[in-house]
Amino acid sequence: MRGLTHGYRTSRGWLGVLDDVTFVIPPGGFATLTGPSGAGKTTLLSVLGGLERVQTGEVSVGEHDLAHLGGDALAAFRRQVVGFVFQDFGLLEVLTARENVEVARALAGVPARQRRQEAGELLAAVGLSGRETHRPGQLSGGERQRVAIARALANGPQLVLADEPTGNLDGRSSQMVLELLESLPKLAGVSVVVVTHNPAVAERAPIRLRIADGHLAIAAGTPSSRGGPP
Amino acid sequence: MRWRDALGLVTRELRRRAGRSALTVAAVALAATLLTALVTIASTAQDRVLSEVTTGGPLAGIKVVAAAPDPSQIGRDDATPGPPKPLDDGAVARIRALKDVAAVYPIVSVPVIVVTPPRIAVAGAPTPPTGADEPSTTAAPGTPGVGPNEPFGDSIVGVPLARSGQLPVTILVGRLPSPTSQSEVVITTEFLNRLHLSISEAGAVIGSQVEIGFPRAFGRGFNRARWMHPVIVGVADQDAGSGELLGSMELAVLGRDWIAAGGPAGAAQFGLQPTTYTGLYVIADRLDRVSTVRTAITAVGYSTSAPENLIASVRRYLRVVEIVLAGVGAIALVVAALGIANALFAAVRERRREIGVLKVIGARDRDVRRVFVLEALVIGTCGGVIGAAAGTLTAATVGAAVNRYLTTQGIAGIRLVVSLPLLALAVIGSAALAVVAGLAPALRAARLPPREAIAG
């Protein structure tokens, strides 16, 4: 990401949220993003994940240049390149754990039998064997978040973006989810960015980004802070 | 997302919101029910009732009287007859042979002396005469009614009762006499009025015997009547002939022959016309042939009347009814469409977060649109199927009620026309309507920006 400037038009005029943000996360990197409320963490994640169009600057994930994507291409980017994990899990309540994972594969056009098998394997990988037919309401918070992680991994993404993934979890569940997210770079070669308010969580990451008043600071880690390739 | 996957998601959503889904389906079903029932009833009425009427029946009937036509009155519905002219079997045969004539029914109207039933007699009125073959009255036929229980002169109209469905006879209470019976009659509402009874009180007189006498002159001023005591079996409105009593042709012919046996002068004294039949009821092949047949009968030499202007008015009113029914159906459809749109807009509002999740994990706008359009399609199809079935049932119920009424009138029942194309149209139309109504909510859902949607 290089020179990203982003804002919103409001009834009181233009509201700048991100100002000339630049950073690089190497493939298989694990980063945390901290900052006060309203600093622009979620906006940064949204742009990085293709939920919003790039306004000014360059944003690339792998070989995908987001500044030139829009509409269906951006949807395909979200489907194939990134996976999202949310604080409130973002699961479809009417579907079972397996069907929630399957939805991501269904959107990618994978045949039913294949995606059913893959969803089962992914759930087993996150420790949810035997919970495939449970609906989100029948699962604990930690289990729901693991279903969300399985879904995020369903289409083999290059980047997983987690927005406060432990915000609604107790200590033990938080620990399990964090360990799972931390294992992703090694297990699947996926880059992971975790937004968190928890300093203890942030401290565990090799790359620590901090954002305040729209400006990004590299608290620790290896990536170049400015000028390097995104 | 494939259609099948979208359908799986839709069915689960509909099940989750079962109450609202059921209400939305019910709204569509109600509209489809109304439309199916209205169209089925209207098309049955159009196809069966009107076609039966136009291919023969009371509306296509022409009254012929035993009189020459008045040239100045020929074009009028209620033409005034000219001078009396005998109407015999030869004349009937000539009229029956005319082009576009479907049937000819003879009518015999006979003068009669009537004594009202004693059981409904008003207190203080004179006692009715008793005993047959006694000239028990001084009232002559043609004398105006003089009140309950007093003899009065009138006429009994004899018609071929087996064909009553083709004649201008409507049973209001009770039933018609048996076709050849000489012991049963029906009375008209004028007779009821004479008894100071309303139609709702007609039951009081049904089952009573009425005393009727056919007068006969025996010369030298000596008259006597043949007295009979038929039972009143019903109350009817009739326009077949002039008279407050209606009976079988056999009863009227018996009376006619008794009076005629007193000789031409005697018969004339009691008002019996020197004719075999006092009138005919001629049914034209089709409603639009009534005028042609009237002209032909006039050429044969008899006076006619037919409710041609009434028929034209009826057809105009039927057209108005059709327009109103179509309007009601259209309003029902619009209400159903608004119900579907409202339900889907509410679903979009409620499911913003879900839409956001789908978009975040890579759903395209058209995937989201497909889910909501499919939801509308499922609602519309379910509503259409239920509505088509309920509409047919409703129409069948109405048809059964109509048939019961027609049967009491001695008219063949109407078989309901259940049109398969109509049922298919109701289902397909409901589904299409639902899709149209669901398009706006679906587009709105599809256009939601992912980040806004995921924020809920």
Closest chain A residue by Cα to residue B353: A90
Q: Does A75 touch chain B (CB under 8 A)?
A: yes
Nearest to B363 among A46, A95, A107 (CB): A107
- Side chain identity at A196, as an amino acid letter? T
Query: What average pLDDT does this structure show over B330-340?
Result: 76
Nearest to A79 among B353, B362, B451 (CB): B362
Mutate to test the interface with A, among B3, B350, B361, B371 (most CBs of A within 10 A): B361
Contacts of A49 in chain B (CB under 8 A): 360
- Answer whether A107 sits within 8 Å of B367, measured CB to CB: yes
- Answer whether A106 sits within 8 Å of B451, measured CB to CB: no
- Side chain identity at B295, as an amino acid letter? T
Q: Does B50 touch chain A (CB under 8 A)?
A: no
| Host H or E run for residue A194 | strand A191-195
- Which residues does B16 contact at the CB level (< 8 Å), separation at least 6? A93, A94
Q: Does A111 touch chain B (CB under 8 A)?
A: no
pLDDT tens across B186-241, in order?
Answer: 999 999 888 888 888 888 889 988 999 999 988 777 888 899 999 999 999 888 88
Which residue numbers in chain A have pLDDT < 70? Answer: 220-230
Contacts of A104 in chain B (CB under 8 A): 361-362
The confidence score (pLDDT) of residue B137 equals 38
Residues B49-74 as b or e (16 or more Cβ within 10 Å = b): bbebbbebbbbbbbbbbbbebeeebe
pTM above 0.95, yes or no: no
Closest chain A residue by Cα to residue B5: A106
Closest chain B residue by Cα to residue A73: B364
Give the neighbor-by-neighbor strand order of the sheet with A159-163.
Answer: A82-86, A159-163, A191-195, A30-34, A207-212, A215-220
- Side chain identity at A74, as an amino acid letter? L
- Answer whether B16 sits within 8 Å of A109, measured CB to CB: no
Mutate to test the interface with B, among A6, A107, A135, A159 (most CBs of B within 10 A): A107
Q: How far is CA A97 from the centre of its chain?
A: 19
Question: What's the pLDDT band for B146 if we cut at 50, 70, 90?
Answer: very low
* Predicted ipTM of the assembly: 0.89
Q: Does A76 touch chain B (CB under 8 A)?
A: yes
Phi, psi of B169 (to 5 degrees): -130, 125
Radius of gyration of chain A (CA): 17
Radius of gyration of chain B (CA): 33
pLDDT tens across B313-330, in order?
Answer: 776 777 777 778 778 777
